[in-house]
Each structure stands twice: as C-alpha cells, then as structure tokens.
C-alpha cells in the first residue's frame, strides 16, 4: 500500500508560504514517514505548477495512488491537514 503524498507548492517571495512552512514541518513531526512530503518552488518548476494547475501559492496537493485527493489553496493549518491525511495512511 502506498503512502499519501503531500505536495507543497510555494514561492520564495510569497509571505503566506513562509507561514505554511512551519505548519508542514510540524505535520512531518506528527506523522513521520507515514506521509511523503515534497516541496516545489513554482518559479523553478513551472512544468509541475502547470500540470497541477497551480494558480495560487501556497497550494497543497494531497495525492494517493497517483490521484489528486485534495487541493488546498492558501495557508492550511496542521489540524486540517492531519484530518485529511490520517484516513489515507
């Protein structure tokens, strides 16, 4: 069984993205290796930003078995992320 993947699309110039980073780090401590976490700078990976139709940063994508399960735009708190990820673990 595959792990869910949390993809954090961000930009270095984005203020809200800087607020999202410690939330993701806290989530990583809580969930450990049960979830794969990737961070993608939209300015350096425009191809991936296009593939996932990223219009806003930060945007968080939750994938399971190669399919997008959730797409969250804007800063999302750790409690909400954990609620979405736990059932997928």
Contacts of 82 (CB under 8 A, 6+ apart): 27, 30, 31
Tell me the two tokens of residue 1: 């069984």
CA distances from 46 to 3, 10, 37, 40, 62 (A): 25, 11, 19, 10, 19
Active site residues: 14, 17
**Residue 27 and residue 84: Cα distance in Å, rounded?**
12
């Amino acid at each position: 069984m595959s792990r869910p993947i949390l993809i954090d699309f961000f930009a270095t110039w984005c203020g809200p993205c800087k607020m999202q980073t410690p939330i993701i780090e806290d989530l990583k401590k809580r969930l450990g290796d049960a979830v794969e976490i990737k961070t993608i700078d939209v300015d350096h990976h425009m191809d991936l930003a296009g593939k996932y139709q990223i219009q806003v940063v930060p945007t968080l994508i939750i994938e399971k078995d190669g399919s997008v399960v959730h797409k969250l735009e804007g800063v999302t708190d750790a409690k909400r992320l954990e609620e979405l990820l736990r059932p997928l673990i």
